[in-house]
C-alpha cells in the first residue's frame, strides 16, 4: 500500500475502525516485529496524538525500550515493576485512569496522567508490551483495550 495513513474525524471507535484495516495493510506483509512495532506506534500517534506510544520488549529479566513515538523514556523496566512490568507479570491489559493512584507507577515523564498497557502474547508468553500514555486523566477505557488488543495481535513475532 501507499505508506500514507488516512485519518478520519469522528468518535474514538470510528477512528479505530478506520485505522484497523490500514494497520493490517501496513504490517501484514512484513515479518519483522520491530519494523511493525515502529509503524504501529507511528500510526497510533498520527491518529490520536497521544502523549507517548511505544513498545517494550521482553529481554531476559527486563522489558527493554523498543520503537516508540514521543519524548525520551526509561529504557528498562523489571518484571512486576510499574504498569508495564505488572501487565507482563499478570499477562493482561491494565488501564490506569490516574497514574498517581497506581502503586509503583514509573514516571518516565511527569506530564503523563493516565495510561493503558497491553501485552503482546506469543506461545502463551508475553514477549512485549504496548504502552500508551496521555497527559489527560482518565483517557483510556474498554474501547481502547478492545482495539489495541486487536492491533497488537497483528504484530508477528
Which residues bind to ligand SME, rule: CB under 6 A?
A: 52, 73-74, 77, 82-84, 105-106, 108, 112, 115, 131, 133
Position of minimal CB gap to ligand SME: 82
Closest to ligand SME by CB, 73 vs 95, is 73
Name every residue whose Cβ is closer than 8 Å to that of residue 63 and which is 6 or more positions away in sequence.
56, 57, 76, 77, 78, 79, 84, 85, 88, 128, 129
Helix (H, G, I), strand (E, B) or coil at 66: strand
Place of cell 507511528: 42
Shortest spacing between CB 102 and ligand SME, in angstroms = 7
Shortest spacing between CB 119 and ligand SME, in angstroms = 12
Tell me whether strands 62-69 and 52-59 are parallel, antiparallel or unpaired: antiparallel
Closest to ligand SME by CB, 18 vs 89, is 89
Amino acid at each position: 500500500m501507499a505508506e500514507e495513513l488516512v485519518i478520519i474525524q469522528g468518535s474514538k471507535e470510528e477512528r479505530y475502525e478506520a485505522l484497523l484495516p490500514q494497520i493490517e495493510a501496513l504490517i501484514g506483509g512484513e515479518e519483522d516485529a520491530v519494523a511493525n512495532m515502529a509503524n504501529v506506534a507511528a500510526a497510533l500517534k498520527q491518529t490520536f496524538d497521544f502523549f507517548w506510544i511505544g513498545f517494550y520488549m521482553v529481554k531476559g529479566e527486563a522489558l527493554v525500550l523498543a520503537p516508540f513515538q514521543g519524548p525520551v523514556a526509561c529504557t528498562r523496566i523489571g518484571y512486576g515493576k510499574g504498569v508495564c512490568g505488572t501487565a507482563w507479570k499478570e499477562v493482561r491489559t491494565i488501564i490506569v485512569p490516574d497514574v498517581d493512584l497506581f502503586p509503583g507507577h514509573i514516571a518516565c515523564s511527569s506530564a503523563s496522567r493516565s495510561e493503558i498497557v497491553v501485552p503482546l502474547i506469543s506461545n502463551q508468553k508475553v514477549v512485549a508490551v504496548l504502552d500508551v500514555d496521555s497527559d489527560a486523566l482518565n483517557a483510556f477505557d474498554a474501547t481502547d483495550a478492545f482495539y489495541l488488543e486487536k492491533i497488537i495481535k497483528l504484530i508477528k513475532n
